[in-house]
Amino acid sequence: MNDTSLCVMFRRIFWVPISLLVGLNEYSDLQEVGEKIVDKCKGLPLAIKSMGDLLRGKHNKEEWENSLNNDTWGLYERRNINVLPALWLSYYYLPSQLKQCFAYCSLFPKDYMFTQKEIIFLWMAEGLLHSKKEKGIEEVGEEYFQELISKSFFQPSSENKSTFLMHELIHELAMFVSGEFCSVLNENKLSHKVRHLSYMRDCGGIFYSKEFEEELSQAKCLRTFLLKLQWIELDQVWLSIIEQLHEAFPRLRVLSIANHYMNKLPDSIGSLKYLRYLELECCEMKKIPDTICNLYNLETLILSECGQVTRLPTNIGNLFKLQHLHIPPYLEEMPLQISKMKNLQTLNRFVVGENEFVITLLEGLQDLRGTLRLFGLENVDSVEDVLEAKLKNKKFLSQLHLFWAKTHKPHDSEREKEILSALEPHASLKAFTIRGYRG
């Protein structure tokens, strides 16, 4: 890329908006400073874009000159680190709360694709988000996420529009600023200071070793543990580590375990009293231990990859702080205590089983938002039960999808019409789907 095309790119990023805001005379002064900044970016498009994102909206020449003359440009020579000065400057000017959220993302391996929801739930669990008077915590997280996108710290994946990743150079920056507190397990030594740890074998992790076990035992202050094991690694040593998590890492707040051959979670999981986020991707697991109902601080529970789990623990209502619940795909019926979870905001699906009055349990879930899918509606015969669910009062829902499955029950078209009418949602709904309805 030649100098001319670089200048064109630079102008596209912020010259035109600046010229419209401040007029042509001041624009020419800024252009002179801007061209010097382009030269310092050494022809790297990401560096130029980052500087453009940083200076967009600033039309004071002094601010531009401060960026040009910042000591950070000598970072390479002084400290011999592999971080672009332009990217470091973009990070340096971030608000402190955004710095923390960005540094936390060094927990993921290079080229790891993540969703906005995934990151926000993790930020929430680690206490990195703070609610405002007019906004909830999740809304604040969405605001932070979008700001990091706008400043090129995150970028959309080319494979899937709903996923994001960090450029390799941005990932290097995240690793640098997080220091010893975040770590992706690789061939490097594990610091005893580590707070957030990921081991993802199929994303470039390492095989288990005796040295790793010894290093892991020293990480007494671990708060995040993302564990993604290949099936060949699920040996007695790993099972022992998982069994002893409550003793080894008593302050753990985030735990994610993924292994397709793990068929049982130890009861000791219920002793992680500070746990706020639990995700299980274990398709061979048939039962969730009842002891998870002792995790009174749990805010997020994700079980959507546990394909053989058909029942949730009876006392799940003890999780009164739970805000986000993703249930297994083949759950036969919602537990009766679901109505006690008054703080629930996310529920990926609700299943009405043979006990048709289960639909009335929806009445207590007034804070549900986003998307709700209702399955098993062929089991509902009582219009009164449907009315008691009060779908019309759930004003925070943006999407509602209703599903009837094939059944051998006698067909009463008039009754089914009444049931459908009783399922009327709030008027502000943005998407509404009906499938399998026989009326």
**Res 73 pLDDT > 90:** no
Contact (Cβ atoms closer than 8 angstroms) between residue 22 and residue 59: yes
Q: What is the C-alpha to C-alpha distance for residues 439 and 432, in angstroms, rounded to an integer?
A: 17
Query: CA 16, 21, 27, 33: dihedral to nearest 10 degrees?
Result: -80
Residue where a domain stops, chosen among 82, 109, 131? 82
In a domain, 267, yes or no: no
Domain check: are 354 and 420 in the same one? yes
The residues that bridge with 31 in the sheet, in sequence order, are none
pLDDT tens profile 123-172: 999 999 987 767 778 889 999 999 999 888 999 998 888 899 998 888 98
Buried b (16+ CB within 10 A) or exposed e, 353-391: eeebbbbbbbbebebbbebbbbbbbbbbebbebbbebeb
Same domain, 53 and 125: no
Residues 6+ apart with CB under 8 A from 388: 359, 360, 363
Q: Which whole number is the average pLDDT over 241-257?
A: 90
Q: Using N-to-C axis directions, what is the helix angle for 61-68 and 45-55, rounded to 10°?
A: 140
Same domain? For 124 and 148 the reply is yes
CB 6 within 8 A of CB 43: yes
Beta-carbon contacts of residue 373 (< 8 Å; ≥ 6 apart): 348, 349, 350, 401, 403
Pairing of strands 350-351, 346-347: unpaired
Domain ranges, residue 28: 3-82
Neighbours of 331 (CB within 10 A): 20
> Which of left, alpha, beta for 260 (phi over 0: left; psi -120 to 50: alpha)?
alpha
CA–CA gap between residue 358 and residue 320 (Å, rounded): 19
Residues 326-345 have pLDDT tens digits of: 999 999 999 999 999 999 99
Answer yes or no: is pLDDT of 239 > 90: no
Do 58 and 109 share a structural domain?
no
Query: Domain end: 36, 56, 82, which one?
Result: 82
Task: Give the C-alpha separation, 101 to 103, whole Å.
Answer: 6
Asked if residue 134 and residue 104 are part of one domain, the reply reads: yes
Please check the confidence at residue 8 and state whether its pLDDT lies above 80.
no
Asked if residues 333 and 377 have their Cβ atoms less than 8 Å apart, the reply is: no
Rounded Cα distance, 424 and 231, in Å: 46
- Least confidently predicted of 77-91, 101-115, 147-161: 77-91
**pLDDT class for 215, splitting at 50, 70, 90?**
confident
Least Cα distance to 304 among 242, 271, 256, 272 occurs for 256
Which are the contacts of 277, defined by CB distance < 8 A and separation ≥ 6?
Answer: 121, 122, 124, 125, 253, 254, 255, 256, 298, 299, 300
What is the bridge-based pairing of β-strands 224-228 and 254-258? parallel
* CA atoms within 13 Å, Cβ hemisphere of 356: 11
Answer for the pair 301, 278: CB distance below 8 angstroms, yes or no.
yes
For residue 355, the model assigns a pLDDT of 85
Does residue 229 fall inside a structural domain? no
The last residue of one of the domains, among 82, 111, 138, is: 82
Please give the share of the chain, as a percent, with pLDDT higher than 70: 74
Query: 400: which strand partners?
Result: 372, 432
Q: Is residue 409 part of a domain?
A: yes
Q: Does 118 map to a domain?
A: yes
Distance between CA atoms of residues 336 and 356, nearest Å: 12
- If asked whether residues 146 and 119 sit together in one domain, one would say yes
In a domain, 312, yes or no: no
Q: Is residue 202 part of a domain?
A: no
| pLDDT number for residue 40 | 60
Q: Which amino acid is at 237?
A: V
Do 371 and 433 belong together in one domain?
yes
Number of domains in the chain: 3
- Mean pLDDT check: name the lowest of 57-71, 140-154, 272-286, 386-400: 57-71
428 part of a folded domain: yes
d(CA 415, CA 410): 11
Q: How many CB atoms lie within 10 A of CB 393?
A: 12
How confident is the model over 72-97, as a mean pLDDT?
Answer: 68
Query: Domain with 118 in it: what CATH number?
Result: 1.10.10
- Residue 405 in contact with residue 437, Cβ under 8 Å? no
State residue 110's pLDDT score.
87
- State the average pLDDT for the chain: 82
- CA dist 418 → 195, 258, 262, 393, 410 (Å): 55, 44, 45, 18, 16
